[in-house]
Amino acid sequence: MARELVKGGFYKHFKNKLYKAIDVVYHSETKEALVLYQALYGDFKLYVRPIDMFLSEVDHIKYPEVKAKYRFTLVDIDAEGNVSDIEEDTASKTSANVGNTDYIANETSANSEAREDNLLVSNTKRVGELVERFLDSKEYEDKLDALLLLRSNINDDLIDLFAESLDIVVDKGDLNTRFKSLKSVLEAHTKYEGARLRR
């Protein structure tokens, strides 16, 4: 089955950088379909790439050490803020049920799990929205607000992602210490930003 681009979806490049697929745009002369996507780190540059190339598999001859199947893999952020590959998770869930003699029992179990998962949907959506707010915002005060609202869901992966987006390093160690360190950086930027605007 051919892969399709998810507009607004988060994608992880096989070199482990995160991007957001914004839309499909077209070359004015050749009419070639291109993906417009934005880096979620550094200065958040915008890029375009042919859609076929964006959705293609990794060239494992050129990059034999790479484990990822695709050049860009669609990812999700769960209620705890962990980044997971949607496509690989879906494939493994599908293959786990194929040829299983206990399929009906698994379906009943899956329905029960689905109900439990539905309870997390609003929280997962909220976490995703807050992560997006942090990454998309140009104002440090907004980033700080998003970070504080994410406090109960913060983890090392999110701290690393946020630090990378700010082009800083938060030393490894105790999660609470790392959170406070990131918070202090944002508070300093917010204070500086406020002082600059008052001039």
What confidence tens digit (pLDDT) does each residue in 63-119 have? 899 999 999 999 886 656 677 777 654 433 333 333 332 333 333 344 445 444 443
Q: Which helix (H) or strand (E) holds 140?
A: helix 140-149
Residue whose token pair is 């697929």: 21
**CB-based contact 5:25 (threshold 8 Å):** no
How far, in Å, CA of 13 to CA of 17, rounded?
5
* Domain assignment of residue 188, given as a range: 111-198
Q: Is the pLDDT of residue 191 over 60?
A: yes
Q: To the nearest whole number, what is the mean pLDDT of the chain?
A: 78
Count of structural domains, the chain: 2
pLDDT in tens, 140-161: 888 988 888 888 788 888 999 9
Residue 136, domain member (yes or no): yes
Backbone φ, ψ for residue 13 (5° rounding): -70, 155
Strand order from edge to edge, sheet including 33-39:
46-50, 33-39, 18-26, 10-13, 72-77, 83-85
Structural domain contains residue 93? no
Task: Give the CATH number, domain containing residue 20.
Answer: 2.30.30.320
User: Does residue 83 fall inside a structural domain?
Assistant: no
Banded pLDDT at 124 (limits 50, 70, 90): low
Domain membership flag for residue 100: no
Q: What is the pLDDT of residues 91-104, one digit of tens each?
A: 333 333 333 323 33
Query: Of the residues 54, 77, 100, which one is the last residue of a structural domain?
Result: 77
Q: Rounded to whole angstroms, how far apart are CA atoms 113 and 117?
A: 6
CB 72 within 8 A of CB 57: no
